[in-house]
Amino acid sequence: MINAARLHSDLSRLGRETEMFLATIDSLSDDEMTVPSLCEGWTRADVIAHVASSGRALVNLIEWAASGEERSLYASREARSQAIAALAALPRQELIGELRESARNFAEQAQRLGGDLAAPDVQLNGKSLPATSIVALRIAEVVVHHQDLGTAWTLEEADPDSLLNALEAVVRSLRAKGAPGMTLVTEERDEWVIGNGTLRVMSDREGLLQWLARGDAEHIEVNGPAPALPSW
């Protein structure tokens, strides 16, 4: 189970990040929803639909952890794409409503992680994920995709621990996808090693996340050419 204090802290931060995300979305007009996002090939509406859909999907991992019955995020990649497309096609207010309901349901279901867990670890993209990290993964999704909307909101407005959650999620994904060997170091004294750790990359949490998640190398220092990274 997740320690009660940690679960409360994680859910409080998730609530804060979600409310900021919703405030940004509420400020967008119908036309602004169709503007391209920082996610290649996706509009802002697509990003919002993805966050709503992934909130629902992550509940499957909570169910797996609580019951021990194996669940997948989506039935298939096609099912994932269809779910996102269907939500993105909704009128603006309906899409926002779906996002709010997805967020409410995830927060409610996440309370189950404070009880005895039948499966302390679940599988995500073929790799083991501690059930205690499911809420942190949701925080990462909200923070990174808030930045992806390309509005006045910046990563500096996220809670420092939420940025740490996002970096840990991205690093986990890069390791699973065989990213080039790197040692990642932040000004906040975080450090991660990927592969052989040969390349040394330094930045603050915000700058490192912008590069790892979306390839923006403006704020990193690296002791060699910055490599191309797998998508997150």
211 close to 219: Cβ distance less than 8 angstroms: yes
Indicate the pairing of strand 127-130 with strand 182-186: unpaired
Mean pLDDT of the 130-151 span: 97
Residue 84 has what pLDDT?
97
For 50-67, the pLDDT digits (tens) are 999 999 999 999 999 999
Rg (CA), the chain: 17
Q: What mean pLDDT is reported for the chain?
A: 95
Distance of CA 95 to the CA centre of its chain: 19
Residue 231 has what pLDDT?
83
Three-state secondary-structure class, residue 51: helix
Instruction: Please indicate, yes or no, whether residues 144 and 209 belong to a single structural domain of this protein.
Output: no
For 70-84, the pLDDT digits (tens) are 999 998 999 999 999
Instruction: Please indicate, yes or no, whether residues 121 and 31 belong to a single structural domain of this protein.
Output: yes
Looking at the structure of the chain, the number of domains it has is: 2
Residue 34 has what pLDDT?
97
CA distance 100 to 102: 5
User: pLDDT tier at 3 (50, 70, 90 boundaries)?
Assistant: confident
112 close to 62: Cβ distance less than 8 angstroms: yes
Mean pLDDT of the 179-192 span: 97
Instruction: Please indicate, yes or no, whether residues 104 and 208 belong to a single structural domain of this protein.
Output: no
Instruction: Please indicate, yes or no, whether residues 17 and 131 belong to a single structural domain of this protein.
Output: yes
Mean pLDDT of the 94-99 span: 98
CATH number of the structural domain spanning residue 138:
1.20.120.450
Half-sphere exposure of 94 (CA within 13 A, CB side): 6
Domain that holds residue 87: 4-153
CA distance 201 to 194: 11
For 111-130, the pLDDT digits (tens) are 999 999 999 999 998 889 99
Q: Write down which residue in 153, 171, 192 finishes a domain.
A: 153
Helix residue ranges, H only, the chain:
4-26, 30-33, 44-67, 77-88, 92-110, 134-148, 160-176, 205-214
CA angle 228, 33, 36 (to 5 degrees): 25
Instruction: Please indicate, yes or no, whether residues 144 and 31 belong to a single structural domain of this protein.
Output: yes
Instruction: Please indicate, yes or no, whether residues 50 and 73 belong to a single structural domain of this protein.
Output: yes
98-102, 181-185, 226-230, range with the lowest pLDDT: 226-230
This prediction has a pTM of 0.94
